[in-house]
Structure 1
Amino acid sequence: MAKLRGVFASVGDRVQERPVATLALAVLLILVSVGGAAQITSVTGNAAFVAENPTYEAYSESFDHGNVAVLVRGDVTEPATIRAIDRLDRRMSETQNVYSVTSPADRVRAEYGRIPDSERKIEAVLGSPDYAIVGVTTDTGLSQQEERPIYDRAVDVKQWANFPAGVSVTVTGSAAFSAQMSAVIQQSTSQLLGLAVGLMVVALFFLFRGVRLRLLPIVAVFVGVIYTFGAIGYAGIPNSTLTSAVFPILIGLGIDYSVQFHERYEEELERNPPRTALPIALGGIGPPVLIAMLAAALGFAATWVSTTSPATIWFAQTSILGVMLTYAAGILVLLSVLTIYVRWRFDGEFDHEADADGDGDDAESTEDRLASVGTVGLLLGRSSRVFASHPKTVLVLALVLAGAGFQVSSSLDTMTDTNEFIPQDLPAYVDLQQFQSVTGGGSSTSYSVLVTGTDLRDPEVLRWMVQFEDVATEAPLITGVDSPATLVKQYNGGEIPETEAGVNRVLADVPEKTLEQYYNDGRAHVTIATAQDMTTGQVISFLGNAEDAIAYSNPPPGVTAEVTGTAAISTPSIVSQINSRNVTTALGVLFVLLLLLAYYRDPVKAVAPLVPMVFVLGWQNIYMYELGISVSPLGASLGAMTVGIGAEYTIIVMERYYEEKAREGVSRLDAVQIASARVGKAISVSGMTTVFGFSALILSPFPILSGFGFLTVGVIFLTLIASLATLPPTLVLLDGVAERVADYRASRGQPA
């Protein structure tokens, strides 16, 4: 511990010796980060929740076609409208990575060889619909980034096709939704970032009084956010709905680090000249804030290792990089600018105020130590002393409330449908819903089964598919099955040929693109139709029914069938993540406990900061229950985050407690009072600014982020309360036990 303090004091000495060079390094890193930020990509929808899966990758490569749909509404049998549809059809057919295009114009051309001038002739082919769909199917195996140029092309061609006035044309479908969602996520990220910065400015202006350059922490943390953008770009971590929540969180956490550095530097300037104030300040506050930062990173790491959902992993990875880089920015930017400012504005004023080593503090009385803390500091100190004077009462009450919270945990609602994550009035979502309504539900009501093995055209395999269809359609929630057997029977008078050669002869008559929907790359594709608008529970039941039907129908030896696709994988992944949230929280507690044990090598100092966090874990469930906040994939990670984030406050208070207790003639209660008075204001300010930062999420248009914002704001309040109300009695109680154990060992002649 002493060695780490020495390292930070040395860093502080280097910064105060070369503040301009340090600031120049920070600027250089900004320029480097801009290059990384330009490489960030976005992933949206169910794809963000689908982990690496060999079956899904094989299915995607062979059968998973994306789509762009152009929904045309109005007088679609008007010759001018059909000609515009035909122009769009032909131009999109020439687009790279487009597999096929289908439209009503195809049927009209097939009938007449051209688009006739007579609306009556067109109606003879199409009837009198009030809408038409141009379906653009993309090649298989395309990423969302590769599909987006196709959507952009469709938007451009829509204008070029020159549809008549009064005809409404909407470009939608999976690729369109992905592209529009990416734009919305980027816009939302920028808006949340700007809003969080604005709220932080207000918070610091009114709460962080009595210090030089009180808005400087905002500059430091914003630089840290730029570093984070660059880091995730270089690391290849994409942006997603969940990742966009990271940056307001980083602003809230980064402000904590910078405020602690700033406050301690100002405190040391009261007693020491600038030449020694910075090394002393950073040597004192650097290690506990470092441990607090690492604790926050480990909280996010617990989320990372306990889930397979890519979106949640990207969220955790971005958060880990972010807390580290905002911590570094606090040293590089904030302390160097403060040093330059103090030298320029107050050069020579401090030399007479204290000795260069600052050794006169040990003789100060408790009253002297509390003389300059202000009204808020005095109030916090006295309150903590009262709580610490009645440790058993306070801790039992806190434990009872936490126990009640753990009891209601199982009664909390959950948010597992990815459609609930996005704004319900989002134009991209509304367009997609309208398209799916027109087409009878679209891909949202069908799931895929990938069949692999040898001789998949063997009549025995086809007869198994017929048996699977019979079994599956008897199960609840399954309304139909379309398989290669269905195709063969359609082209062979309802019969399965007796030999594989016979099957091949039948399939030779099937159009190539139709056949590729069933057989491709040596694999077979079965589609299961389901009830529309299923709940998450029904989706899980359906998947179970489909897997049971596969097992019961007994595929032939060497043949494997698995339900796959983004919807089939993402929904169980999200449900599993939410159901395992207690495991994630336990991992967070364990990781932070091991960190504290490794740093302090003292069980009391390792356990004490976590006791208030255990209380908060229970209290937050009561908060969620009373406000009706659902548990989302983000909320499922909050327990581990709470331990990591909240440990900062408790570690800083505990460090100051032991620092004060080491002074001559200071009792445990005196140490609690001084520690809470001296750092309580700083953590209250940083906590409130964190609340302001997190509150930006409340205004997000994405329900999953808005709910997470409400949740985190409440949890930060609870964490502050626990740090100032339950940590002092915890310290007094555990420290007293530790002293009695040490005295007992000493009396028995054992090493303490």
Structure 2
Amino acid sequence: MNTQKNKVKKSLYKTVTKMVPAVFTALVATGLGFIALYTSPVPMIQDFGKMLTIGLVVSFFLGVFLLIPILFTRDYFFSNTKKKTKEQQVEKRLKPSKVDALLDWFTKKTIAFRWLIIALAFSAAAFGIWVDLDANVETDVETFMPQDTQELKDIHKLRDIIGSTDQVSIVYEGDNITSNQVIKWVDKLTATIGLEFPNVVVDTKSITSIVKLMNDGELPDGAAFSEQIVDLPEDQLKLFLNESQTKGVITVGIEHLETEDLQLFIKDLGIYLQKHEMDAIKTTITGKSVLDVEMIKGLTTGRYQMTLLGMGLVFFGLLLIYRHPIKAFIPLLPILFIVGWSGLAMHFLDISYTPLTATLGALIIGIGTEFTVLVMERFYEERKNGSQSVDAIQITNKKIGKAIFASALTTIGGFSALLASDFVILNNFGQMTLINISFALFSTIVVMPPILIILDRFVKVKGVH
């Protein structure tokens, strides 16, 4: 009984001194990858990064201060030492399981074909990055939601009836916007914008168009105009003028456009306003459509910058920990492959980037780095114990291969719930996350061993000659 308890104590000691530091290193690397999300100009992406980081830290502390004590308590106080004889325990230790035998055979094959594996992995990643540079970006918010919902059908029906449900607003401001000169300028803009953009603009409205309706299409001058706007209902007047009459609005109803076309229209409209600008009057194009353009632009652009920033932060973080550039680079090389493979998968599956899938780079770094760091840590632990590189990677895959498989499968199971969503944006995000987790598992088990064998010659291990 005392022998069994001593073994449990030794297991606890080895776990705390060997495994916890390795997991902490993986935690730091993963957290540094998520920091890239904080650089996004969109608050929802920043919050996504914060929640990922918080979840990461909470999981680590629960594992160290809750899971390990539970396992220790189970084995120390409740283990059944009479269950197996000493001979049976020795036999079990000597006889490898079928999974261990499979991992051992598989590792030997990956080492034997290491140069072919690296060449194929690099070629596929390079091609994936190349095609991903011209990947489609889905910017129409309406395509993100279930297409058979009644609310979306109602919007389409309303659009068919009135011609438009989208609009931009031109805000003009000055000291005296009800002067005769400004009124004529506003009236001219209201009439000519539709003529300038006939394929986009459906209708335009301003305070002058409302007053003209009251005067059979005629625009009164000066004092007569001011008197008539005073007689307008307050709820109607405040749609086009503020109370102090220093700001006015021209509303422009437009066709429903893809974000790229809408962005082009807003740019052209800005140029048109500059050509017809008036002294002492400042104009600004605003409205929900303009905000949508900026939001989608912020969400979907710069995905490679975020990915490269994340990888750079991980590299420098690992460099500070290991004090060796090759050891800091090794865990990132499989991640670089996964980034390319992910782009290749999206290309062949014809999946466009959305505000959610644009964050996949950070997720790839987070999930993949955890696996690769743990494998590398165990590999160099075996090397320090005197094993040669080939033996060390075989022992590594046998010892933690099953744990990585279990971790990947549980993560896949969690994200699989997104596939049941009716929202296209969530479904695509779930689908690509499952693919990337599978790539991370494949890269760790298949590509990581050849990388370690090839680059091991550049890493000096203490006690190994």
Q: Fold-level match, TM-score > 0.5? A: yes
Residue 404 (structure 1) aligns with: 127
TM-score normalised by length of structure 1: 0.56
Helix, strand or coil at the partner of 1:332: helix
1:498 to partner: Cα distance: 5.0
Does 2:408 correspond to 1:687? yes
SS in 2 for 1:520: coil
**Structure 2 equivalent of residue 313 of structure 1:** 46
Q: Separation in 2 of the partners of 1:503 and 1:599?
A: 74
Distance 2:100 2:163 in 1: 61
> What is the aligned-residue identity percentage?
28
1:561 maps to which residue? 283
Q: Structure 1 residues 427 and 272 mapped into 2: Cα distance closer, same or farther (>3 Å)? A: farther
- Structure 2 counterpart of 1:326: 59
Matched, 1:450 2:171: yes
**Could you say what secondary structure the match of 1:449 adopts?**
strand
Structure 2 distance, partners of 1:661, 1:679, is 15
1:421 match: 144
Residue deviations 1:611-654 (CA, integer Å, cap 9, x gap)? 01111111111211222222111111101220121001100000
Secondary structure in structure 1 of the residue aligned to 2:331: helix
Equivalence for 1:571: 293
Quote the Cα distance in structure 2 between the aligned partners of 1:344 and 1:432: 65
Deviation at 1:321, TM superposition (A): 1.7
Q: Verify: 1:274 aligned to 2:14, yes or no.
A: no
Match of 1:527 in 2: 251
Displacement of 1:706:
0.6
- Tell me the residue number matched to 2:24: 290
Indicate if the aligned counterparts of 2:20 and 2:64 stay in contact, CA closer than 8 A: no
Residue 633 of structure 1 aligns with which residue?
A: 355
SS in 1 for 2:272: helix
Rounded Cα–Cα distance in structure 2 between residues aligned with 1:567 and 1:401: 39
Query: Residue 726 of structure 1 aligns to a residue in which SS?
Result: helix
Match for residue 389 of structure 2?
668
Question: How far is 1:495 from its partner?
Answer: 5.0
Structure 1 residue 272: Cα displacement: 5.7
> In structure 2, what is the equivalent of residue 602 of structure 1?
324
For residue 659 of structure 1, the aligned residue among 381, 386, 402 is 381
Indicate the SS of the match to 2:133. Answer: helix
- Tell me if structure 2 keeps the 8 A contact 1:468–1:549: no
Please say if residues 190 and 250 of structure 2, whose CA atoms lie closer than 8 Å, have aligned partners that are also in contact: no
Cα distance between partner residues in 1 of 2:96 and 2:134? 44
Matches within 5 A, 1:200-239: none
SS of aligned partner of 2:330: helix
The question of 1:552 aligning with 2:286 is answered no
CA contact (8 A) 1:422 1:703 kept: yes
2:424 alignment partner AA: P
Q: CA deviation at 1:460?
A: 2.9
Structure 2: how far apart are the matches of 1:408 and 1:271?
58
Describe the shift of the 1:650–1:572 C-alpha distance in structure 2 as closer, same or farther (beyond 3 A). same
Query: What is the TM-score of this pair, normalised by structure 2?
Result: 0.88
Is 2:163–2:202's contact at 8 Å kept on the other side of the alignment? Answer: no
User: Any conservation in 2 of the 1:295–1:645 contact (CA below 8 Å)?
Assistant: no
Quote how far apart the aligned CAs of 1:417 are: 1.5
Q: For the structure 1 residues 378 and 347, does the alpha-carbon distance in structure 2 shift closer, same or farther, using more than 3 Å as the test?
A: closer
Q: Is 1:617 the counterpart of 2:351 in the alignment?
A: no
Q: Report the alpha carbon displacement of residue 337 of structure 1 after superposing the two structures with TM.
A: 2.5
Distance in 2 (CA, whole Å) between partners of 1:479 and 1:429 is: 20
Alignment coverage as a number of residue pairs? 452
Distance 1:286 1:449, change over 3 A: farther
Task: Determine whether 1:509 maps to 2:231.
Answer: yes
Shift of 1:492: 5.2
Kindly report which structure 2 residues correspond to 1:141-290, keeping only aligned pairs within 5 A, or say none: 273-290=7-24
User: 1:602, CA displacement in angstroms?
Assistant: 1.3
CA contact (8 A) 1:388 1:672 kept: no
Structure 2: how far apart are the matches of 1:272 and 1:617?
A: 46
Deviation at 1:347, TM superposition (A): 7.9
RMSD of the TM alignment (CA)? Answer: 3.1
1:736 Cα deviation after fit: 0.8
Deviation at 1:503, TM superposition (A): 3.8
How far, CA to CA, are the matches of 1:717 and 1:711 in structure 2?
A: 10
The Cα shift of 1:270 comes to 9.2
Shift of 1:397: 1.9
Q: What CA deviation, in whole Å up to 9, does each residue of 1:210-238 have, x standing for no partner?
A: xxxxxxxxxxxxxxxxxxxxxxxxxxxxx
What SS does structure 1 have at the residue aligned with 2:162?
coil
User: In structure 2, what is the Cα distance between the partners aligned to 1:438 and 1:573?
Assistant: 26
> How much has 1:528 moved relative to structure 2?
0.5
Q: Distance in 2 between matches of 1:273 and 1:283?
A: 15
What's the secondary structure of 2:252's corresponding residue? strand
Per the alignment, residue 314 of structure 2 pairs with 592
Is residue 725 of structure 1 aligned with residue 446 of structure 2?
yes
Return the letter of the residue paired with 1:301: I
2:139 touches 2:258 (CA, 8 Å); kept in 1?
no
- Pair 1:504–1:732, CA change in 2 (3 A): same
| Residue pair 1:459, 1:496 contacting (<8 A) in 2 also | no
Aligned to 2:264: 541
Measure, in 1, the Cα distance between the counterparts of 2:344 and 2:5.
45
Deviation of 1:338 (Å): 2.2
Shift of 1:430: 4.2
2-structure distance, mates of 1:275, 1:543: 69
Cα pair 1:472 1:545 within 8 Å, conserved: no
**Secondary structure, in 3 states, of the residue corresponding to 1:406?**
helix
Seen in structure 2, the aligned counterparts of structure 1 residues 698 and 271 have a Cα distance that, compared at 3 Å, is farther
Instruction: Specify whether residues 440 and 616 from structure 1 end up closer, same or farther in structure 2 by C-alpha distance, changes over 3 A only.
Output: same
Q: Structure 2 counterpart of 1:292, which letter?
A: A
Q: CA offsets, 1:589-614, max 9 Å, x none?
A: 11211221122221111100000111
| Structure 1: gaps spanning 5 or more residues | 1-268, 354-367, 744-752
Distance 1:631 1:541 in 2: 20
Aligned equivalents of 1:377 and 1:270: distance in 2?
25
Q: CA deviation at 1:348?
A: 8.0
The letter of the residue matching 1:461 is V
* Cα 1:482/1:674, change in 2 over 3 Å: same
- In structure 2, the residue corresponding to 1:529 is in which secondary structure? strand
Contact (CA 8 Å) 2:201, 2:252: kept in 1 or not? yes
Cα distance in 2 for residues equivalent to 1:345 and 1:725: 39
Paired residue type of 1:412: A
What CA distance in whole angstroms lies between the structure 1 residues aligned with 2:345 and 2:205?
Answer: 48
How far does residue 518 in structure 1 lie from its aligned partner after superposition?
Answer: 0.5
- Tell me, in whole angstroms, the C-alpha distance in 1 between the residues paired with 2:16 and 2:151: 50
Question: Corresponding residue for 1:183?
Answer: none
Residue among 369, 380, 391 paired with 1:647: 369
2:186 aligns with 465
Q: Work out the CA distance in 1 between the residues paired with 2:30 and 2:296.
A: 23
For the residue of structure 1 that corresponds to 2:356, the secondary structure is helix
Q: CA deviation at 1:410?
A: 3.5
The separation in 1 between residues aligned to 2:104 and 2:355, in whole angstroms, is 38
Q: CA distance change for structure 1 residues 291 and 422 in 2, over 3 Å: closer, same or farther?
A: farther
